[in-house]
Structures are given as structure tokens and as C-alpha cells.
């Protein structure tokens, strides 16, 4: 029986990914900053651990408590939106600290066991906003694009050790709490110079009549990344993400 450790499991994509692996008889280590066992089905194959990817000691404790794992899924992160001119540096630093450096730090903590066993899979969940220039999410997109970049380099470095590395790029989802979580990190959205742009972007974000991404799309893409050695390095998840990847 194989074991997967997933970050950011309290809601959204992470929660659905954890459910997906549980349903397929894997051992699941679901991590979140504030552990909540009630969000997942009861199972002897489930462990819920506290993990803050921005805290080195929290990472050390979680990796030690988890023991040997076969797959690491870096999903934890948060969003923010603002015209680049008005993006607070504190928010920019927080985005990179969680989305980029948090992913890097946890991956570094897990890689030694993969390399020594000459087996293991790292799946980094980023975003399809890295595939297309979009207004108001420049800093968020940069934090995810940085993960894409080091993931691609890491894939080459680890191939000789039998360790596989994959990227999953979700599209826009009407199901997750991304928008709610991003709202406190929206800045400059009422600035008169950007009023027309902001109104247009927010209207498009609220419009779910076109292609979108569902949590199940992301869970299936992560499953493919974790279990299919023939899967590509980059896997778009969701109808909109697939379309953007094709355009690119």
C-alpha cells in the first residue's frame, strides 16, 4: 500500500485530492495549518497532520511524523489580486513565502528519502494563470511560475535517481474558496485609474458559463501525475486549463 502526503487539505483542491486517493486505497497523510479531521471520511488509512509550509520547524515535525512516503503533493497556497502598481510588498512577500518558498522547503525536506530509495514522485500544483497573461494577478502568477521553473529543473536533476516530478496546472474553479481566501488580499481594486479594468475582470471571474475547472479535474490530474510514469511533465487540469495549454 502506497502513501501520499498532501498539503492544503482543509478545503478545495487539496481536500478533493485527499478523498480521491483514499477512495483508491492509498494511505493518505492530509496536512493543513489547523488540523480538522471532520472534513474527510473516517479511515484507518488517513492521518491528519498540522503543517505550516512557511515554518521550518512545522515542516520538520510533519515530515518526521509522516515517516516514509511515496508521493508528495504540494498543493498549499493562497491567492491575491491587485494592479501591479498598487500591490503591497508585504502581500508579494507573503505570496512567495507560501506559494513558492513553502513548496520548495517541503520538497527539500522530503527529497532525501526519495533519492536514497531511488523512488518517489513530487507533484506540484500551480496554476493555469502561468500559461496566459492576465491582469490583476501578476504577483500571484509570478509566485506560481517560479514553482514551474524550479520544478522543471528538478525533474532533470532527479531523473537519474528514479524520482519523477510533475506539474498540475488547474484552471479557474467555481467550487473552491480561492476567491474568498483572496479577497482579504485584494488591494487597489477601487483606484479610479483601474476602475474599468477591475470591473471587467471581476465580471469575467463571476461568469461561469464557459469552461471551468472542477475539484475532481484536479484530483484526477494529480492521480495521473502520481501513478502514470508516462504522464507529461505539465498536466493542465480542467477544460479551461486544457484550452489555454493548447493555445500556448
Q: What is the pLDDT of residue 183?
A: 57
CB half-sphere exposure, 32, CA atoms < 13 A: 20
Level-2 CATH architecture, domain 3-238: 3-Layer(aba) Sandwich (3.40)
pLDDT at 185 > cutoff 70: no
Question: Which amino acids are annotated catalytic?
Answer: 140
pLDDT band at 173; cut points 50, 70, 90: confident
Q: Percent of the chain beyond pLDDT 70? A: 94
Mean pLDDT of the chain: 92
Q: What is the pLDDT of residue 16?
A: 97
Residue 35 zone, left/alpha/beta (φ > 0; ψ -120 to 50; rest): beta
CB neighbour list of residue 96: distance below 8 Å, 6 or more residues apart:
142, 143, 146
Give the pLDDT mean for 202-231. Answer: 90
Picking from 123, 131, 125, the residue whose alpha carbon sits closest to that of residue 155 is 123
pLDDT tens figures, 35-51: 888 899 999 999 999 99
Q: What is the pLDDT of residue 75?
A: 98
CB 238 within 8 A of CB 170: yes
Task: List the chain domain ranges.
Answer: 3-238
Q: How far is CA 58 from CA 109, 212, 213, in A?
A: 11, 34, 31
| pTM summary value | 0.93
Picking from 71, 84, 69, 246, the residue whose alpha carbon sits closest to that of residue 169 is 246
Neighbours of 78 (CB within 10 A): 18
Give the pLDDT mean for 166-170. Answer: 98
Q: How far is CA 231 from CA 94, 110, 160, 224, 227, in A?
A: 32, 22, 17, 7, 9
pLDDT tens figures, 85-125: 999 999 999 999 999 999 999 999 999 999 999 999 999 99
Q: What is the pLDDT of residue 203?
A: 78
Amino acid at each position: 500500500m502506497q502513501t501520499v502526503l498532501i498539503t492544503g487539505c482543509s478545503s478545495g483542491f487539496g481536500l478533493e485530492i485527499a478523498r480521491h486517493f483514499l477512495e483508491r486505497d492509498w494511505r493518505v497523510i492530509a496536512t493543513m495549518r489547523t488540523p480538522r479531521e471532520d472534513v474527510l471520511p473516517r479511515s484507518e488509512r488517513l492521518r491528519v497532520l498540522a503543517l505550516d509550509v512557511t515554518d521550518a520547524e512545522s515542516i520538520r515535525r510533519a515530515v518526521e511524523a509522516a515517516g516514509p512516503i511515496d508521493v508528495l503533493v504540494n498543493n498549499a497556497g493562497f491567492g491575491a489580486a491587485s494592479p501591479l502598481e498598487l500591490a503591497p510588498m508585504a502581500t508579494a512577500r507573503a505570496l512567495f513565502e507560501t506559494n513558492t518558498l513553502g513548496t520548495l522547503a517541503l520538497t527539500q525536506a522530503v527529497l532525501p528519502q526519495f533519492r536514497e530509495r531511488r523512488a518517489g514522485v513530487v507533484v506540484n500544483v500551480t496554476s493555469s494563470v502561468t500559461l496566459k497573461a492576465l491582469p490583476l494577478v501578476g504577483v500571484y502568477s509570478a509566485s506560481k511560475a517560479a514553482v514551474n521553473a524550479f520544478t522543471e529543473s528538478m525533474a532533470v536533476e532527479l531523473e537519474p535517481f528514479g524520482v519523477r516530478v510533475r506539474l498540475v496546472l488547474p484552471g479557474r474553479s467555481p467550487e473552491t474558496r480561492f476567491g474568498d481566501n483572496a479577497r482579504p488580499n485584494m488591494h487597489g481594486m477601487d483606484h479610479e485609474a483601474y476602475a474599468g479594468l477591475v470591473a471587467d475582470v471581476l465580471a469575467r471571474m463571476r461568469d461561469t458559463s464557459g469552461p471551468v475547472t472542477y475539484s475532481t479535474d484536479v484530483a484526477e490530474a494529480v492521480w495521473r501525475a502520481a501513478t502514470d510514469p508516462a504522464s507529461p511533465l505539465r498536466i493542465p487540469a480542467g477544460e479551461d486549463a486544457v484550452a489555454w495549454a493548447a493555445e500556448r
